[in-house]
Amino acid sequence: MPTITIDGQTLEVKEGDNILQACLNAGLDLPYFCWHPAMGSIGSCRQCALVQYQNPSDERGRIVMGCMTQVTDGARFSLDANNAVEFREAVVESLMLNHPHDCPVCAEGGECHLQDMTVMVGHRDRRYRGKKNTHRNQYLGPLIHHEMNRCITCYRCERFYRDYAGGTDLGAQASRDRLYFGRQQDGVLESEFSGNLVEVCPTGVFTDKPFLADFSRKWDLQSAPSICGGCGVGCNIAPGERYGRLKRVHNRYHDDINGYFICDRGRFGNSYVNADQRIDYAGIQDADGRFTAVDQASALDTAGAWLKNAKIGGIGSPRASLEANFLLQTWVGADQFSSGIADIERATVDRQLQILQSTRAINPSIKQMESADAVLILGEDLTHTAARVALALRQAVRNKSLAMATQMGLPSWQDAAVRNLAQDALSPLFVVTSYASRLDDIAQRTVTLAPDDIAEFGRHLAARLQGEPAQSPLIEEFASSLAAAERPLIISGSSMLQSNIIDAGAAIAEALCLDNPQTMLSLTAPESNTVGATMLAHPNNLSLEGMVERAVELDVLVILENDVTRRLDAASMQKLVASGTKIIALDVIENATVERASMVLPAASFAESQGTLINHEGRAQRFFPVFPPAEQRLPSWQWLLQLAALNGNSQLTALTQFDQVVDACAASQPAFAHLNEVAPDRSFRDRGQKIPRQTHRYSGRTAINAGVSVHEPQQPVDHETPLAFSMEGLNRDQPSTLIPYVWSPGWNSNHALQKFQAEVDGPLKGGQSGVRVLISSADGVAPQTTTPIGAAPNDRWQLVPVHRLHGSEELSARSDEIAELAGDAFIALSAETAGQLEVAEGDRLKVIANGDSISLAVKIVDRMAAGCVGYSYGYAATRGLIAGAHADLQRDTDWRPPQPSLIATDRQSMAVDRGNPHV
């Protein structure tokens, strides 16, 4: 390890680091703008200047840029040298020449890196007498607000958007002091990761538009560590609340999973928590179909009467916490329980679990995936099914350029140099899907096949890797690339709802494992706790369809946070309602299942309750309540404990605390043995105090409730978690699972994170968070024979589910901005098929399958397998369509666009009412 001297202080630093990293690692505050731990250095802002001395007798030294200077053994530097201090102040002063004096009305104020750095260098008085440049702003869609005047031209936005996330529609324009960052013209940002611009931009050029409409300063937000429920990846998030409303979601650093970035579904898909359709009170359905709101006690009274000596069934949910699912299963008994996953999906996720429990391949974290040097994707449009994984793959394909850089002796953080050296050289990424995927632009080869043929292709590839002759030159190309790789990665998943594709993926990984133990196999999971619900499943469990059959024998059916109408066809749903069994539905928001329930119990959302979710790699992670449940809501686990107590369930009556539920769940099966290590229990104290959810600057405590009563209520007490609804306590040195927000003296922006990291861009000081509960026996995957669905006959089409980041997931689609981006349900065709059917983009097609006819808008995609058409998965309009089913398509000539209920000017004024003016 090289030793360097900074201002007389001798430091041991990491080989190959730059001085900026070394300084930050040593806890020294060296200001910077353009450098980002995940994106490296380009030396464009000139802010991290310090003095380097040539030799021990050099007194003057010369100014170097910290981020561009590699550490060398014995080097001598000074941060405090006068010329360095003056230089840094002068840089901020010149960056501020055109800054618009609008911090009070800037959503970045209070968590602004530019503010922090300005204070850090000591710049205060403006000396420049000239005029300020100004810029016009652009409309960038419902998610991102643009205020270009604030720009300091650090290039971070472009480097993130284009270089890191592969976007094409945002970049630098014009020259010299006219530099402009935006789109060619106004329009919605295309990238699925555009929300990260909010955190990447060191100032307020890109701000969170929904948050801006309902704004609070960072110091006023009450935050808690949470886990995103948007998909199976389980990114760590930090939601912030004030005045009982979930205001915004920020990325929460997890070294192995999401790092610094999350997708737009995760960031903007949570405002359903504030929706008017949230269920506030328990409701009992009357004979006329209307619900009467009742309080908790009378709801429980009624439920108690229903449950007395009743035969009870339960439907769990892959989006509810592990604990809630466990409680329901334990209460009603495994024989009367269904995990709430429809058969077609259960077949794939069950198989997925079997594979991950036995595979010899590594089940990688996202960080491990970033190290892959050859990737094969089977049947997944990852950007829409596991977006964060897709972002990681965009980094993985750069491994070739990093290898080239290493050969040249170029450090990997020399971002511009590495990219210049590599040009278009990318590590091989192969995409085998039924339709165009968002990763096609970085793929070495894309193959378009019908779902069955993907599996067939995979099997041939596996056979070739086991030594059999290749069936085609394409398979030879794939096989030789994968076999030559040091860390090949195979990714598949359940999005096509076909287990034979997953099997094929597993077979390829197993074949590669024979020669290469570094082979990785990752399988995406559809929902936040699909893996948890599947692991919890008991062999005696009913299928969801089986539960519908059983319903007539039951007196009461408890449905836990599950809109089963999304999973069952209309006939099954009819049958379930007609069975006469009383349905008690617990859910967070009104939906079609809740409407059909005899009793509705208001469940707390992820932001008001705690629980454990198991992500696609089998990592159990805990989310914590950000604020106490409002109105009559209760966390599902509490409702279930109370219901079970009414029913006199002896196993559950002893449980009252969440930690006890976790312990009981941990004892239920060996795989969950370490469940209570996922997060510290409620007795955890840091220096005798709980971890505060509020910042030490949290304002208005004696005025928030004064409008109701001047007599201040006691702060809500959190009996269940190690966190407190308070500003008392310390937010430092705690386990990583319990970091509600990042802040450090002098570092108000999210760059305070480096004070929580053990080293720059490294793991958190508080250790690893989350526990891997899915551990493979490494016995190898037992092959399974699955019957192919079979291609559609010539005159019919096979339906393929097309996933959309915005729209396919149930809860995020209930957020206004996501719903706007999701648009209408569609049927995706190749240009060829469209020509054959004589339709163009935007025309309507009648899709006739299973006797139903649905009219959908036509969307033309770049690739679509022959004989297949895609339907937008998870949209209300396409609920009746089944993956793999055969359908007839007819041009819908009767369809007329619905009359607009608003005229355009109304729509504009509505947008303004929502506080989203574009100026």
Partner 1 sequence: MLSQLRTLWEIFKHSFSKSETVQYPEQMPYLAPRYRGRIVLTRDPDGEERCVACNLCAAVCPVDCIALQKDTRDDGTWYPEFFRINFSRCIMCGMCEEACPTYAIQLTPDFEMCEYDRQNMVYEKEHLLINGVGKYPDYNFYRVSGLKTASKDKGEAHNETPPIDTKSLLP
Angle at 57 between CA 51 and CA 60, to 5 degrees: 35
Rounded Cα–Cα distance for residues 581 and 597 (Å): 10
Output b/e per residue, 754-763; b: 16+ Cβ within 10 A.
bbbbeebbeb
Closest approach of partner 1 to the CB of residue 693, in Å: 16
Do residues 766 and 736 make contact, with C-beta atoms less than 8 angstroms apart?
yes
Of 771, 758, 314, the C-alpha closest to 533 is 314
Rounded Cα–Cα distance for residues 36 and 165 (Å): 14
9 strand-pairing partners: 6
Closest approach of partner 1 to the CB of residue 250, in Å: 18
Q: Which is nearer to partner 1, 145 or 806 (CB)?
A: 145
**Residue 730 structure tokens:** 């310390």
Closest approach of partner 1 to the CB of residue 215, in Å: 5
Q: Which is nearer to partner 1, 216 or 395 (CB)?
A: 216
Rounded Cα–Cα distance for residues 524 and 860 (Å): 26
What are the DSSP calls for 318-339, one per residue? TTS-HHHHHHHHHHH-GGGEE-
- What φ, ψ does residue 861 adopt, rounded to 5°? -115, 160
Evaluated on CA atoms 576, 582, 586, 591, the torsion sign reads positive
Q: What is the 3-state secondary structure (H, E, C) of 701-769?
A: CCCCCCCCCCCCCCCCCCCCCCEECCCCCCCCCCCHHHCCCCCECCECCHHHHHHCECCCCCCECCCCC
Closest approach of partner 1 to the CB of residue 439, in Å: 31
Rounded Cα–Cα distance for residues 523 and 511 (Å): 17
Q: Which is nearer to partner 1, 101 or 719 (CB)?
A: 101
Closest approach of partner 1 to the CB of residue 191, in Å: 21
Rounded Cα–Cα distance for residues 419 and 405 (Å): 9
Q: Which is nearer to partner 1, 220 or 527 (CB)?
A: 220
Q: Which is nearer to partner 1, 152 or 479 (CB)?
A: 152
Rounded Cα–Cα distance for residues 498 and 347 (Å): 8
Do residues 264 and 251 make contact, with C-beta atoms less than 8 angstroms apart?
no
Closest approach of partner 1 to the CB of residue 147, in Å: 8
Rounded Cα–Cα distance for residues 786 and 131 (Å): 72
Rounded Cα–Cα distance for residues 48 and 14 (Å): 19
Q: Which is nearer to partner 1, 217 or 459 (CB)?
A: 217
Do residues 377 and 439 make contact, with C-beta atoms less than 8 angstroms apart?
yes
Q: Which is nearer to partner 1, 59 or 125 (CB)?
A: 125
Give the CA-trace dihedral at 290, 295, 299, 302, to 10 degrees: -90
Rounded Cα–Cα distance for residues 762 and 779 (Å): 33
HSE-up of 315 (CA within 13 Å, CB side)? 31
Closest approach of partner 1 to the CB of residue 106, in Å: 9
Determine the angle formed by the axes of helices 499-513 and 451-465, rounding to 10 degrees.
10
Do residues 487 and 535 make contact, with C-beta atoms less than 8 angstroms apart?
no
Closest approach of partner 1 to the CB of residue 176, in Å: 8
Instruction: Give the full edge-to-edge strand order of the sheet including 3-6.
Output: 9-12, 3-6, 76-78, 49-53, 62-65
Closest approach of partner 1 to the CB of residue 741, in Å: 15
Q: Which amino acid is at 486?
A: E
**Measuring CA to CA, how many Å separate 509 from each of 211, 256, 524?**
43, 22, 15
Q: How far does CA 190 lie from the centroid of its chain? A: 17
Of 478, 464, 452, the C-alpha closest to 511 is 464
Q: Which is nearer to partner 1, 124 or 687 (CB)?
A: 124
Closest approach of partner 1 to the CB of residue 118, in Å: 15
Q: Which is nearer to partner 1, 181 or 639 (CB)?
A: 181
Closest approach of partner 1 to the CB of residue 885, in Å: 47
Rounded Cα–Cα distance for residues 579 and 600 (Å): 18
Q: Which is nearer to partner 1, 850 or 916 (CB)?
A: 916
Closest approach of partner 1 to the CB of residue 217, in Å: 5
Q: Which is nearer to partner 1, 73 or 102 (CB)?
A: 102
Q: Which is nearer to partner 1, 136 or 907 (CB)?
A: 136
146 strand-pairing partners: 206
Closest approach of partner 1 to the CB of residue 695, in Å: 10
Interface residues toward partner 1, by CB under 8 A? 100-105, 109-110, 131-137, 147, 149, 173-174, 178, 180, 212-213, 215-217, 219-220, 243, 697-704, 706-707, 709-711, 909, 912, 915-917, 919
Closest approach of partner 1 to the CB of residue 161, in Å: 17
Determine the angle formed by the axes of helices 636-646 and 322-332, rounding to 10 degrees.
10
Rounded Cα–Cα distance for residues 774 and 352 (Å): 12
Q: Which is nearer to partner 1, 205 or 601 (CB)?
A: 205
Q: Which is nearer to partner 1, 158 or 561 (CB)?
A: 158
Closest approach of partner 1 to the CB of residue 219, in Å: 6
HSE-up of 680 (CA within 13 Å, CB side)? 20
